[in-house]
Amino acid sequence: MDIDLAVIGGTGLYRFPGLERVEECAVETRWGAPSDGIVVGWLGTKRVAFLARHGRQHDIAPHEVNYRANLQALHSLGAKRVIGINAVGGIREDMGPRVLVVPDQLIDYTHGRVTSFGEGRGEPVRHIDFSEPYTASLRADLLAAAAAAGIGVVDGGCYGATQGPRLETRAEIARMRRDGCDLVGMTGMPEAALARELELEYACLALVANWAAGCGDEAEISLEEIFAHLEHATARVPALIAALLKP
The DSSP annotation for 159-182 comes to EEE---SSPPPHHHHHHHHHHT-S
- Residue-wise pLDDT tens digits, 217-226: 776 777 888 8
Q: Is 198 strand, coil or helix?
A: coil
Q: pLDDT band for position 1 (50/70/90)?
A: low
* Mean pLDDT on 133-157: 98
Q: Is 185 strand, coil or helix?
A: strand
Q: What is the pTM of this model?
A: 0.94
86 annotated as belonging to a binding site for a ligand: no
186 annotated as belonging to a binding site for a ligand: yes
53 annotated as belonging to a binding site for a ligand: yes
Structure confidence at residue 217 (pLDDT): 76
Distance of CA 75 to the CA centre of its chain: 16
54 annotated as belonging to a binding site for a ligand: yes
Q: pLDDT band for position 48 (50/70/90)?
A: very high
Structure confidence at residue 224 (pLDDT): 85
236 annotated as belonging to a binding site for a ligand: no
234 annotated as belonging to a binding site for a ligand: no
Q: Which long-range contacts (CB under 8 A, 24 or more apart) does 130-134 make?
A: 130/193, 130/196, 132/104, 132/105, 133/105, 133/106, 133/192, 133/193, 133/196, 134/103, 134/104, 134/192, 134/202, 134/203, 134/204
Q: Which of 121, 114, 106, 105 is nearest to 160 (CA)?
A: 106
The ranges assigned to domains in the chain are 5-245
Provide CB contacts within 8 A for 240, sequence distance 6+.
Answer: 100, 142, 145, 146, 149, 151, 153, 205
Structure confidence at residue 136 (pLDDT): 98
* Mean pLDDT on 58-65: 96
211 annotated as belonging to a binding site for a ligand: yes
Do residues 203 and 83 make contact, with C-beta atoms less than 8 angstroms apart? Answer: yes
Structure confidence at residue 219 (pLDDT): 65
DSSP-derived secondary structure letter, 63: G
Q: Which of 186, 183, 181 is nearest to 166 (CA)?
A: 186
* Mean pLDDT on 35-50: 94
* Mean pLDDT on 171-192: 98
135 annotated as belonging to a binding site for a ligand: no
Q: pLDDT band for position 172 (50/70/90)?
A: very high
Any idea which fold 5-245 has?
Answer: Rossmann fold (3.40.50)
The residue count for the chain:
247
Please provide the average confidence, as pLDDT, over all residues in the chain: 94
Instruction: Give the separation between CA 19 and CA 139, rounded to whole angstroms.
Output: 23
Q: pLDDT band for position 123 (50/70/90)?
A: confident
Highest mean pLDDT among 10-14, 42-46, 76-80: 76-80
Structure confidence at residue 56 (pLDDT): 92
pLDDT reading at 247 higher than 80: no
- Residue-wise pLDDT tens digits, 87-104: 999 999 999 999 999 999
* Mean pLDDT on 73-89: 97
Give the CB-side neighbour count of residue 183, counting CA atoms within 13 A.
33
Pairing verdict, β 5-9 and 81-90: parallel
